[in-house]
Amino acid sequence: MKIWLDDLRPAPWGYESARSVNEAKTLIREAERNGIEIEALDLDHDLGDFANQGGDAIKLLDWLAERETFYPVEIHTANPVGRANMESVLARYWGEEYW
């Protein structure tokens, strides 16, 4: 399973769409419960009106790090500060070579 987290852009073909961190968490938990491999998480940073449902996408990275579930991550945000913050979390917990 590939998960696309973005409040505005439609998911590319082959991705499951989530508009909020809470929706992404639900997809991840369902995949784990059903033994479905999570191949990629492709994340926007700013989730607009959906940020009240779990925060901006960096909160998903924090949640994954707390659980020690380090799925492959791509970032597609246009926010340079948000990107830098997300990359910092990835470098710290995933390791720079992993993502």
Count CB neighbours of 83 within 10 A: 17
pLDDT of residue 97: 64
Q: Tokens in use for 61? A: 């990275």
85: alpha, beta or left? (left if phi > 0; alpha if psi -120 to 50): alpha
The position carrying tokens 């191949």 is 39
**Tens-place pLDDT, residues 57-90:** 999 999 999 999 999 999 999 999 999 999 999 9
For the full predicted model, state whether its pTM sits above 0.75. yes
The string of pLDDT tens digits covering residues 8-52 is 999 999 999 999 999 999 999 999 999 999 999 999 999 988 888
User: What's the pLDDT score for residue 54?
Assistant: 87
Architecture of the domain whose range is 2-94:
3-Layer(aba) Sandwich (3.40)
Residues forming beta bridges with residue 41, ordered by sequence position: 3, 73
Cα–Cα distance measured from residue 81 to residue 98, given in angstroms and rounded to the nearest whole number: 21
Predicted pLDDT of residue 99 = 58
